[in-house]
């Protein structure tokens, strides 16, 4: 997985990695005893913000 190059976007990388992993699992890509590689994952802060924007303020 790509690493952040600043001190403040770690949450963006964690959320994007989690999103990619859950998307793979939802597509029924079964774990094969090998790790699911996220080496090609590129965290896109603006895309993540766009996905989260509709949810902001809709908490409990």
Q: Which domain holds residue 35?
A: 10-55
Q: Per the domain annotation, does 23 fall within a domain?
A: yes
Q: Does residue 60 surpass a pLDDT of 60?
A: no
Q: Per the domain annotation, does 40 fall within a domain?
A: yes
Q: Per the domain annotation, does 27 fall within a domain?
A: yes
Domain count, the chain: 1
- Give the separation between CA 16 and CA 12, rounded to whole angstroms: 6
Considering just the CA atoms, what is the radius of gyration of the chain in Å?
13
Q: Per the domain annotation, does 26 fall within a domain?
A: yes
Q: Per the domain annotation, does 1 fall within a domain?
A: no
Q: Per the domain annotation, does 2 fall within a domain?
A: no
Question: Which residue in the block uniquely carries the two structure tokens 């699992």?
Answer: 25
Q: Per the domain annotation, does 31 fall within a domain?
A: yes
Closest CA to 31 of 39, 22, 40, 42: 22
pTM reported for the whole predicted model: 0.44
Q: What's the pLDDT tens digit per position in 15-56?
A: 878 888 788 777 765 666 667 676 777 778 888 788 878 877
């Amino acid at each position: 997985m790509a690493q952040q190059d600043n001190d403040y976007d770690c949450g963006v990388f964690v959320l994007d990695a989690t999103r990619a992993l859950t998307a793979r699992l939802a597509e029924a890509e079964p774990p094969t005893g090998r790790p699911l590689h996220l080496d090609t994952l590129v965290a896109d802060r603006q895309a993540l913000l766009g996905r989260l924007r509709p949810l902001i303020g809709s908490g409990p």
